[in-house]
């Protein structure tokens, strides 16, 4: 998700101020003198790329979790199901025959669908694509059965009736599609999977600097403009403290690593 221009401008100001500080105070941090955006994709990469061993939380100082957003479970109109319950019942009757698309090996689409399949007790067949657009096109064309994606990515096709929305992967419904239930409401708890992002800096940052940067970023998060933007994207601000953000990343790494192992996922 791309942040709106006014948020990009505010973040750039904070980043420039930090770069000046880092250059003067932390010259040894050559690999990460500026702040960086951290998101779910990096943790999934660490889980599925088995040659990566060093925990990424040890390489960076977590500063602020900015927000998270649910994914949307959609199916082809050709698939004879009208609910997530019906989908999983069909998949159980045809193990390994119902297909799901992803934007590629190791993508959020792949690992989140595997989480859902495990929670539902079904076996699905993975069809990787080179990006989300061709995956959605084939879903709409009935060439693949399921696609789990961000809500904005699929919303136009959903509203146009070209694909069917069955459930969201968050613990509560989204305002963008209030009539679409959660997977837990559909009888499949334990399948939560969301995209998220936050800001990190180099390891070894002084505690007072961490708190100051956290406070500056928080001013952006509580702005009415950003709240509106996130709502329109199906996302919510999530202003965690630095330590909480770090703990959340470690939980994500552990969870995705377990899923990748159980689903035999690897990009090596």
How do residues 199-208 score in pLDDT, each as one tens digit? Answer: 888 888 888 8
Q: Which of 6-15, 131-140, 163-172 has the lowest mean pLDDT?
A: 6-15
Tokens representing residue 190 in the block: 């334990």
Measured between alpha carbons, how far is 177 from 152 in angstroms, rounded to an integer?
11
Q: Are residues 59 and 77 in the same domain?
A: no
Q: Considering 151, 168, 185, which residue would you say is the last residue of a domain?
A: 168
The mean per-residue pLDDT over the stretch 172-198 comes to: 93
Q: Are residues 151 and 220 in the same domain?
A: no
Task: Write down the pLDDT at residue 22.
Answer: 46
Q: Are residues 128 and 149 in the same domain?
A: yes
What is the CATH classification number for the domain harbouring 100?
3.40.190.10
Task: Write down the pLDDT at residue 94.
Answer: 97
Confidence of residue 18 (pLDDT cuts 50, 70, 90): very low
Please say if the pLDDT value at position 110 is more than 50: yes
Q: Are residues 64 and 74 in the same domain?
A: no
Q: Are residues 158 and 85 in the same domain?
A: yes
Q: Which of 25-29, 132-136, 220-224 has the lowest mean pLDDT?
A: 25-29
94 within some domain: yes
Task: Write down the pLDDT at residue 219.
Answer: 77
Q: Are residues 82 and 125 in the same domain?
A: yes
Highest mean pLDDT among 119-123, 201-205, 259-263: 119-123
* Listed residue (104, 102, 86) closest to 94, CA to CA: 86
189 within some domain: no
151 vs 41: which has the higher pLDDT: 151
Q: Which of 6-20, 74-88, 170-184 has the lowest mean pLDDT?
A: 6-20
Measured between alpha carbons, how far is 190 from 199 in angstroms, rounded to an integer?
27
How do residues 36-85 score in pLDDT, each as one tens digit? Answer: 777 777 777 776 775 444 444 456 788 888 888 999 999 999 999 999 99
Q: Are residues 139 and 56 in the same domain?
A: no
Q: Are residues 63 and 78 in the same domain?
A: no
Average of per-residue pLDDT values in the chain: 83
177 within some domain: no
SS (H, E, C) 28-55: CCCCCCCCEEEEHHHHHHHHHCCCCCCC
Q: Are residues 58 and 75 in the same domain?
A: no
180 within some domain: no
Q: Are residues 93 and 29 in the same domain?
A: no
For 74, the domain range is 70-168
183 vs 10: which has the higher pLDDT: 183
74 vs 231: which has the higher pLDDT: 74
Measured between alpha carbons, how far is 161 from 76 in angstroms, rounded to an integer?
10
95 vs 54: which has the higher pLDDT: 95
Please say if the pLDDT value at position 34 is more than 70: no
Q: Where are the alpha helices (DSSP H) in the chain?
A: 5-25, 40-48, 84-93, 108-120, 132-140, 151-159, 207-221, 224-232, 242-262
């Amino acid at each position: 998700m791309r942040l709106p221009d006014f948020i990009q401008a505010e973040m750039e100001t904070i980043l420039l101020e930090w770069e000046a500080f880092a250059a003067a105070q932390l010259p040894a941090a050559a690999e990460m003198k500026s702040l960086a955006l951290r998101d779910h994709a990096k943790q999934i990469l660490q889980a599925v790329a088995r040659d990566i061993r060093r925990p990424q939380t040890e390489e960076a100082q977590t500063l602020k979790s900015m927000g998270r957003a649910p994914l949307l479970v959609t199916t082809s109109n050709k698939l004879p199901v009208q609910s997530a319950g019906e989908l999983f019942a069909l998949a159980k009757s045809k193990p390994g025959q119902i297909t799901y698309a992803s934007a590629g090996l190791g993508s959020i689409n792949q690992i989140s669908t595997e989480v859902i399949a495990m929670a539902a007790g079904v076996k699905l067949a993975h069809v990787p694509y080179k990006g989300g657009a061709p995956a959605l096109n084939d879903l709409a064309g009935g060439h693949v059965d399921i696609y789990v994606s961000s809500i904005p990515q699929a919303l136009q096709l959903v509203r146009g009736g070209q694909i069917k929305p069955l459930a969201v992967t968050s613990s509560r419904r989204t305002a963008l599609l209030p009539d679409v239930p959660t997977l837990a409401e559909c009888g499949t708890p334990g399948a939560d999977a969301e995209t998220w992002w936050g800001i990190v800096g180099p390891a070894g940052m002084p505690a007072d600097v961490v708190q100051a940067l956290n406070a500056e970023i928080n001013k952006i998060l509580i702005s009415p403009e950003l709240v509106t933007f996130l709502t329109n994207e199906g996302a919510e601000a999530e202003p965690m403290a630095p330590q909480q953000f770090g703990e959340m990343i470690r939980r994500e790494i552990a969870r995705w690593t377990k899923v990748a192992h159980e689903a035999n996922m690897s990009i090596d």
